Structure 1
Amino acid sequence: MQRFKEFITELEFLEVEFLAILFVLIPIWIIYLAIRDILNKRQTIKHNFPVVGRLRYLLESIGPELRQYIVASNREELPFNRSQRSWVYASSKKQNNYEGFGTDKDIYAPGHVFINPAMFAYQLPENHPNLKDPHFLPCAKVMGEYNQRKRPFRPYSLGNISAMSFGSLSRNAVTALNRGAHTSGCYHNTGEGSLSPYHSHGSDVMFHFGTGYYGVRNKDGNFSMDKLVELVEKNSFIRAVEIKLSQGAKPGKGGILPASKITKEIAEIRGLPMGKDILSPASHTAFTNVPEMLDFIEDVAENTGLPVGFKSAVGQLKMWEELADLMVQRGKGPDFITIDGGEGGTGAAPHSFADHVSLPFAFAFTSVYQIFLERGLTDRVVFVASGRLGFPAKALMAMAMGADLIQMAREPMMAIGCIQAQVCHTNKCPAGVATQNKWLSSGLDPTFKSVRFHNYMTAFRKEVLQISHACGYEHPCQITMHDIEVGMGASRSTQTLADNYGYTKTPVEFKGMQSLLDCPHLGGLGKNITSVEALTKVKATH
């Protein structure tokens, strides 16, 4: 007992001594900061208001967080408001993602989307595939079928992971997404950073390359067909090839990966030196115009046997018209086209590019689709939609316009932990998603987060199906431009998409969900297992 009392006395003495030291050091530290600020000639606020002026920079640095969680309402914050983020987070955690007491959105605001339900919803018949798996929702079209590719591909999932590179994202983030893609049946687009070991955990993969030809380049930095063929032959899970012409975040400007995010592993995968920012060229060297691009697409398809398409933002339409005219003349063309809206944003981009260059998705997609519609080409191409479409209602609007598939990027990032800190370009992502910092990325558990992504993707597909059924359809490919209306403001009522954009999409040939399940080209989970069973196996393993 005596020893315990002595110990307590000693602690009290140390506490007093520590406080005394603090009383001496804190004023010295404040004086030091004040002198530094007064001598600071670069920052006026700090110079004019020593020490206190530092609060301005602190508040500025946490501005996004203050607005997201304190200042902004549920529907104000961009690029994703709190209501949207909450739906993704709740869905990924299998929590209640319903709303109570009605919507808090202004449904009379211009641009509000109204989906018109049928008087009687579609009823699933006996033995329907969705009775076994309520998340079963493949693409209604087959990539490469029209052009008779050697290995056609019907994506198992309507929703898929858009192009995000290992390098932009951490290894743990890519691993989590790939594992979740495997259990949910969707494909995983590699992004232009090439195929990494973290893309190889079982999901279908869409191999994507841009102007830098990372992973498929020769010593001079030009495209190497031999390397692409070798890559495809070694990795049978690569089901399609996507060529990036441009992306919505910064069309006409090559990709950027800061030197701070380049590790030895990333440099080896991409075939590049370390210590320098990676700046992809703005243009391709493998082709320089539309006829050459079509020749290149056919060459890649012939050598790999895979469906080949391209991704592009949209602005001037002259070259799109040239492309469509050449497809009519040649009877050949891309197997799929990904239209990336100007609201895209996973890639770091200059402010002026992000805000002003290229059309947002709705205007971009409808402009291109009409060009193909006028020439009778819409049935030849699988149209992939991208640009903040990872929400059921937005995805259905894209489908009504003529899209066949949805690719999403930031929504999957949020499903595995992204908090919209908007520091992707700094290598300081606090959630460990968009960083190569080992400490920050170590906080992202790939196994745990893969389940989160699985839950999000299956919830997305399930709600898309439920809304389609509410409209009286078995599959969302059947939804028409007359089934969705857009608000014109309280005084002007609404307009259907058909009236608003001046066309009606081509009906997609659809013979029922069972025909999709029986398709020999069905990817993902195929017809032997459901997404529920796949997830159960993963949970049992781990």
Structure 2
Amino acid sequence: TGYFGCRNKDGSFNDDAFAERANLDNVKMIEIKISQGAKPSHGGVLPGVKVTQEIADIRLVEAGKAVLSPPTHPEFDTPGGLLDFVARLRKLGDGKPVGFKLCLGKKIEFLAIIKAMLETNILPDFITIDGAEGGTGAAPVEFSNRLGTPCLESTYYINQILIGAGLRQHIGLISAGKTATGFDMLEKIILGADTVNAARSMMMALGCVQAKTCNTNNCPTGVATQNPLRARAIDVSEKSERVRNFHRGTVHSFLELCGAIGFDNPSDLSPIDLFSRSEEGTKNFDQIYAPLNAGQLLGDSIPNSYRDDWLRASSDSF
């Protein structure tokens, strides 16, 4: 929302600066961050003590001054506006994949985006689903503990909505939120994700001890600091090997689990393979939540659990 690296002095979006950076060879895809699981509908602050000259040059801000990220995007305020921004970035990025990331809140607001996709025929290349259990040292406790929809429920719901709207084959799904084990990966893939993101676990493999001093620039392990002396705590050759080992071991565990439940290919997994136990008994996810058939939302046979929100959603407003 701060458009760092592609902004004007007043914080508005700068097309030329974006195009210059988006067309670098090392930029593979472009993600619009609408919200994140740890603090949905909340902005952010990078303290001035952490804004070195190097960071200021990269972000196009003043060195030594606190940098604010507003809670909303100044470039759009409607579902159609979001999709116009997607198309704009795709053109400026010379066709590179463009998507958006969000933590699911009111379902009717996500359905409004889907209706806008159907009306405009402008589709993101991917959607990143960030679960409410996602974490960051920059999140207020009230936000990280209380707001947003958990990852598994969000992943299942958004996957089903895309199926029901006849859009699933055109949009990739990335799922994130407390991914640390092979089973965490398995759950997300089963419920519809094409790709799984891991952030916190990789950071801990790098050496984070959750000292909760990220904002002070005094991280004791050197992970979250611009202080050159403290950054020396990270031996890149050693830590990179640890991160690689963790990544490789986690993926291996995931594949072992796939084999253990009888599948040669993770793409064959489905919601009927994941069970949840409650006081009423054990059910798979298709039994807990109503699955949708391809294009079902476009007809008259919309399940009751989806009908009211779908009929109320409008592409004109979140």
Deviation of 1:347 after TM superposition, in Å, equals 4.6
Q: Identify which of 162, 165, 168 aligns with 1:378.
A: 168
Q: How many Å separate the matches in 2 of 1:378 and 1:486? A: 25
Question: Corresponding residue for 1:326?
Answer: 116
Q: Identify which of 242, 247, 260 aligns with 1:457.
A: 247
List aligned pairs for 1:353-502, cutoff 5 A: 353-489=143-279, 492-502=280-290
Q: Which amino acid aligns with 2:282?
A: T
Q: Identify which of 32, 42, 51 aligns with 1:243.
A: 32
Deviation of 1:479 after TM superposition, in Å, equals 0.8
The answer as to 2:132 corresponding to 1:342 is: yes
Q: How many Å separate the matches in 2 of 1:229 and 1:409? A: 27
Change (3 A) 1:351 1:505: farther
**Structure 1 alignment gaps of length 5 or more:** 1-210, 507-542
Task: Answer yes or no: is the 8 Å Cα contact 2:31–2:100 preserved in 1.
Answer: yes
Q: How many Å separate the matches in 2 of 1:261 and 1:457? A: 29
The answer as to 2:47 corresponding to 1:226 is: no
Task: Answer yes or no: is the 8 Å Cα contact 2:38–2:144 preserved in 1.
Answer: yes
Task: Answer yes or no: is the 8 Å Cα contact 1:372–1:378 preserved in 2.
Answer: yes
Root-mean-square deviation over aligned CA pairs: 1.8
Q: How many Å separate the matches in 1 of 2:57 and 2:133? A: 32
1:104-134 C-alpha deviation (Å, 9 max, x unpaired): xxxxxxxxxxxxxxxxxxxxxxxxxxxxxxx
Question: Corresponding residue for 1:503?
Answer: 291
1:210-269 C-alpha deviation (Å, 9 max, x unpaired): x10001112332111211221133x21211000111111111111221223222211221
Aligned-partner SS, 1:449: helix
Task: Answer yes or no: is the 8 Å Cα contact 1:222–1:285 preserved in 2.
Answer: yes
Deviation of 1:428 after TM superposition, in Å, equals 2.6
Deviation of 1:505 after TM superposition, in Å, equals 8.8
Q: How many Å separate the matches in 2 of 1:250 and 1:295? A: 25
The answer as to 2:254 corresponding to 1:254 is: no
Change (3 A) 1:505 1:362: farther
Deviation of 1:372 after TM superposition, in Å, equals 2.0
Q: Which amino acid aligns with 1:244?
A: K
Task: Answer yes or no: is the 8 Å Cα contact 1:396–1:464 preserved in 2.
Answer: yes
Q: Which amino acid aligns with 2:284?
A: T
Q: How many Å separate the matches in 2 of 1:431 and 1:306? A: 36
Aligned-partner SS, 1:338: strand
1:307-344 C-alpha deviation (Å, 9 max, x unpaired): 10001111112221111122223333111001111111
Change (3 A) 1:488 1:441: same
Q: How many Å separate the matches in 2 of 1:430 and 1:493? A: 47
Aligned-partner SS, 1:495: strand
Change (3 A) 1:486 1:311: same
Deviation of 1:429 after TM superposition, in Å, equals 2.0
Bigger Rg, structure 1 or 2: 1
Question: Corresponding residue for 1:277?
Answer: 66
List aligned pairs for 1:204-223, cutoff 5 A: 211-223=1-13
Aligned-partner SS, 2:3: coil
Looking at both structures, which has the greater relative contact order when contacts are Cα pairs under 8 Å and sequence separation is at least 6? 1
Q: How many Å separate the matches in 1 of 2:63 and 2:217? A: 16
Task: Answer yes or no: is the 8 Å Cα contact 1:339–1:384 preserved in 2.
Answer: yes
Aligned-partner SS, 2:197: strand
Q: Which amino acid aligns with 1:497?
A: F
1:177-208 C-alpha deviation (Å, 9 max, x unpaired): xxxxxxxxxxxxxxxxxxxxxxxxxxxxxxxx
Q: How many Å separate the matches in 1 of 2:216 and 2:156? A: 35
Q: How many Å separate the matches in 1 of 2:48 and 2:293? A: 45
Aligned-partner SS, 1:238: coil
Task: Answer yes or no: is the 8 Å Cα contact 1:301–1:308 preserved in 2.
Answer: yes
The answer as to 2:74 corresponding to 1:299 is: no
1:140-189 C-alpha deviation (Å, 9 max, x unpaired): xxxxxxxxxxxxxxxxxxxxxxxxxxxxxxxxxxxxxxxxxxxxxxxxxx
List aligned pairs for 1:10-409, cutoff 5 A: 211-233=1-23, 235-304=24-93, 305-409=95-199
Q: Which amino acid aligns with 1:256?
A: V
Question: Corresponding residue for 2:302?
Answer: none
Q: Which amino acid aligns with 1:397?
A: E
Q: Which amino acid aligns with 1:247?
A: Q
Aligned-partner SS, 2:275: strand
Q: Which amino acid aligns with 1:501?
A: Y
Deviation of 1:504 after TM superposition, in Å, equals 6.7
**Normalising by the residue count of structure 2, what TM-score does the alignment of the two structures yield?**
0.86
Deviation of 1:443 after TM superposition, in Å, equals 0.8
Deviation of 1:401 after TM superposition, in Å, equals 0.8
Deviation of 1:445 after TM superposition, in Å, equals 1.0
1:382-406 C-alpha deviation (Å, 9 max, x unpaired): 1110110231101111111111111
Q: How many Å separate the matches in 1 of 2:10 and 2:119? A: 35
Q: How many Å separate the matches in 2 of 1:364 and 1:298? A: 25
Aligned-partner SS, 1:311: strand
